[in-house]
Structures are given as structure tokens and as C-alpha cells.
Amino acid sequence: MKQIENRRSIRKYQNRIVEKEKIIKILESARLAPSGSNTQPWRFIIVESEETKKKLAQVDHNQKWMLEAPVYIVCTADIRCRISDSRPLYIDETSPEVELKQCIRDTSIAIEHILLEAENQGLAACWTGWFEQKDVRPILGIPNDIYVCGIVTLGYGNETPSPRPRKSLDEIIKYETWN
């Protein structure tokens, strides 16, 4: 609970290198995430190049704050873990495939593991996703049948935001039925 309670979306980072060992531990936590039918659709791209980070921040709604983070983890979902035929497949935000929704769900669980393990490792992170597939894919050479679920900025935080308001349990829990 400590990591869950303390985790914040951090948008200011120290100019400090993140140790490779910590990045590996964070990705190991994602690797251990549960997935439907154990498909494990997630694939991750670690980005540390200033030039590439600049391009990614630009297509991610030009969020300049992202440039302070020393590391990005680009989190993708591979629909081929659920669709095994070899037909060409283009997926994006409007794709109707149920399998894509399943892969996004499973990869989202892995991303949350990343955020919590970053907190556990004494690092800060923020999950971003204000981009379109057609803009982000070419930067990293991502194929058309791979869906980019998010870009996680990662580093040593340089801010300590207060907790954001949360709804009470009474507001979010129902018993047995919706009514």
C-alpha cells in the first residue's frame, strides 16, 4: 500500500542518470504482470536519446515537460499474441478488434506495475498517452500491428505534489448489481 499511496504522476525531474539495474527491475515487474490466457502482449522500448525523446514529446501533444525525464519507456501491445494469422493488419485508435482491447487491457496492467515499481525503486514516473498511433510509430519503427499504449517518463523526481482528491469507497462500490 505504501507505494500505491505515495505514487504521483511526476512532471519535473532531476538532471540525474537512472541506473540500468533499476530500469531492469522495473521492467521485470512488468514482465510478471498477469494477462488474459497468459498471452503477455507487452513489449517495451527504452529511450534515452535526447533527439528521440524530443520527437516523442512533440507527438505526445508537445508536452515539453517530458524532456526533463532522462528515460522513456514506450509501452506497446502486440495483437499477434491473439491473432496468429499472417494477414496484414493496421491497428489504431479506431480499430474494432476485440483482441486489441484485450491486449490494451493486459498491457495497462503491466504499465501500472512499472509505475509502482518505479516508486519502489525511489524513482518518479508519469504515464502519458496524448498521441496518435500514426504519429508515434514512425519515430521508433513500430509496425502497424503493434499498438502504443503509453509512454512512461522515468527519472528522479524534482517535485513532491500533494495527493489528488479521490472519491470515497461509498461513491465507487456497488453490491451485487448496479442499482
CATH number at residue 61: 3.40.109.10
Q: Which domain holds residue 57?
A: 2-159
In this prediction, residue 116 carries a pLDDT of 97
Q: How many domains in the chain?
A: 1
Q: Answer yes or no: is 176 within a domain.
A: no
Helix (H, G, I), strand (E, B) or coil at 90: coil
The answer to whether residue 24 scores a pLDDT higher than 90 is yes
Alpha-carbon torsion (142, 146, 148, 153), positive or negative? negative
Residue 70 · residue 118 · CB < 8 Å = no
The answer to whether residue 5 scores a pLDDT higher than 90 is no
Ramachandran angles phi, psi of 90, nearest 5°: -115, 120
pTM above 0.75, yes or no: yes
Q: Answer yes or no: is 173 within a domain.
A: no
Q: pLDDT (tens digit, 9 = 90+) per residue, 63-108?
A: 999 999 999 999 999 999 999 888 999 999 999 999 999 999 999 9
Q: Answer yes or no: is 174 within a domain.
A: no
3-state helix, strand, coil in the chain (%, to 5): 40, 20, 40
DSSP labels, 113-140: HHHHHHHHTT-EEEEE--S-HHHHHHHH
Q: Answer yes or no: is 103 within a domain.
A: yes
Report how far residue 125's alpha carbon sits from residue 72's, in angstroms, rounded to the nearest whole number. Answer: 9
Report how far residue 50's alpha carbon sits from residue 95's, in angstroms, rounded to the nearest whole number. Answer: 32
Q: pLDDT (tens digit, 9 = 90+) per residue, 141-169?
A: 999 999 999 999 999 999 999 999 999 99
Q: Answer yes or no: is 164 within a domain.
A: no
Q: Answer yes or no: is 177 within a domain.
A: no
Report how far residue 115's alpha carbon sits from residue 110's, in angstroms, rounded to the nearest whole number. Answer: 9
The answer to whether residue 4 scores a pLDDT higher than 90 is no
Q: Answer yes or no: is 175 within a domain.
A: no
The answer to whether residue 127 scores a pLDDT higher than 90 is yes
In this prediction, residue 105 carries a pLDDT of 98
Structure letter (DSSP) for residue 53:
H
